[in-house]
A and B are shown apart, each in its own frame.
Chain A
Amino acid sequence: MSAAASRVWISKLKAAAWAVPVTICFNDVIAGPFLIAGSSMQPTLNPKSEDPSASDDVVLVQKWTVRLQRYCRGDVVVLRSPTEPDIYIVKRIIGLEGDWLSVPGQLEIEKIPKGCCWVEGDNARESHDSLNNDRFGSIPVALVQGRVSHVLWPLSRIGRVSSSVPPGRLLAKNETAFQHSEY
């Protein structure tokens, strides 16, 4: 290869190498795809299908809302597991700091401590969350990495992921949660 030709290649490689930090930055700050594993969010994500070869769902995860600390009750979020640091879990936020929640199977109602949230999977039987199986209770909201906003794959179910709080659980809502005030 001539010197001029190799110089052209090097400049092309340099331009391509810039894609790496730009992609990482976009994925971390704005939004990125995420592969859903497991059945804890059925039927919202990875719904049961007759076809055993059905692939897992790919969703779009918004990061900028979390960076601005906009956490909403009812949103589906990706968070780092409080018990296994290397694992990402997908759950629904039921309550935020200062809320009072009724907890199925116990008489006492629960107040969520400062900086914390209460998360549950839609499929109670399969989900390890604040209430079911592991029962890790309230967890720091700082574990939340992003909000699941859309299903991207399979194409048949492409669209928004809706936000909903199970009825009758939230007894008292703290209107000033995460608005930089002491409640």
Chain B
Amino acid sequence: MSTRFSRAGRWLFGSHPQSLQETATTVLKYGCLAYVVRTYGVGATFCVGPSMLPTFNSFGDIVLFEHVSAYTNRIQAGDVVIARSPQNPGNLVCKRVLGLEGDFVKVAASTYLGPARTVQVPAGHVWLQGDNALNSTDSRSYGPVPYALIEGRAFLKVWPATQASWVKRQLS
């Protein structure tokens, strides 16, 4: 075992020999703490897919997101959010909020998604759309999304390091 690993192990588990039960308790404790921070505080995720080009690359970007604005109802139009997919409960989608409840959203005409129209977002819902309108499955196809599905707001792109930047709130 390398020195570095055993040093980390000593920091976590203490220097004296431990029983299996003590080790399991430590793993459980820190696992739970990591879960709580990730679920209610700040987490990191891969953003995969072409729908958020050019804000995020289609593969390999790591984005930090915070959950506080989601559960304190501070999400605003223009924020990039991570939400449970309304089409597949196991997936997360990363899109931009284009309208909150009551807002009117203009949808451009497209071959697949029908003619141009203006939609009013119903109560308790948001309108999500990818920045890459030509290649994004979003509210234009599945309609407004319940606000409750929003998990967090993306605020910092950390990888690739050369493109690291804050994720800005913007409406085109």
For the complex, is B33 an interface residue (Cβ under 8 Å from A)?
Answer: yes
Contact A114 B146 (CB under 8 A): no
What per-residue 1/0 map shows which CB atoms of A121-145 lie under 8 Å from chain B? Answer: 0000000000000000001111110
A22-B29, A115-B87, A178-B89 as given contacts; A142 in contact with B149, CB under 8 Å: yes
Find out whether the CB atom of A114 lies under 8 angstroms from the CB atom of B87.
yes
**Is the pair A21, B89 in contact by a Cβ cutoff of 8 Å?**
no
Kindly state the separation between the CA atoms of A25 and B145 in the bound complex, as whole angstroms. 27
Q: Is the CB of A29 within 8 A of B124?
A: no
Count residues on chain B whose CB falls below 8 Å from chain A CBs. 27
Interface residues of B in 132-172 (CB under 8 A from A): 142, 145-149
Does A107 sit at the interface, judged by CB under 8 A?
A: no
A115 touches B86 (CB 8 A): yes
Instruction: Tell me, yes or no, whether B88 is within 8 Å of chain A by CB.
Output: yes
* B residues in contact with A113, CB < 8 Å: 87, 142
Contact for A143 among B39, B88, B148, CB less than 8 A: B148
Cβ contact of B148, chosen from A22, A24, A82, cutoff 8 A: A82
B residues 9-68 touching A (CB-CB < 8 Å): 28-29, 31-33, 35-36, 39-40
Mark each residue of chain A from 1 to 27: 1 if its CB lies under 8 Å from any CB of chain B, else 0.
Answer: 000000000000000001011101110
A–B Cβ pairs within 8 angstroms, 8 of them:
A24-B32, A24-B36, A26-B32, A69-B89, A84-B123, A86-B73, A140-B85, A143-B149
Which residues from chain B sit less than 8 Å from chain A, CB to CB? Answer: 28-29, 31-33, 35-36, 39-40, 73, 84-90, 122-125, 142, 145-149
What residues make up the interface of A, taking CB atoms closer than 8 Å to B?
18, 20-22, 24-26, 28-29, 69, 80-86, 113-116, 139-144, 178, 180
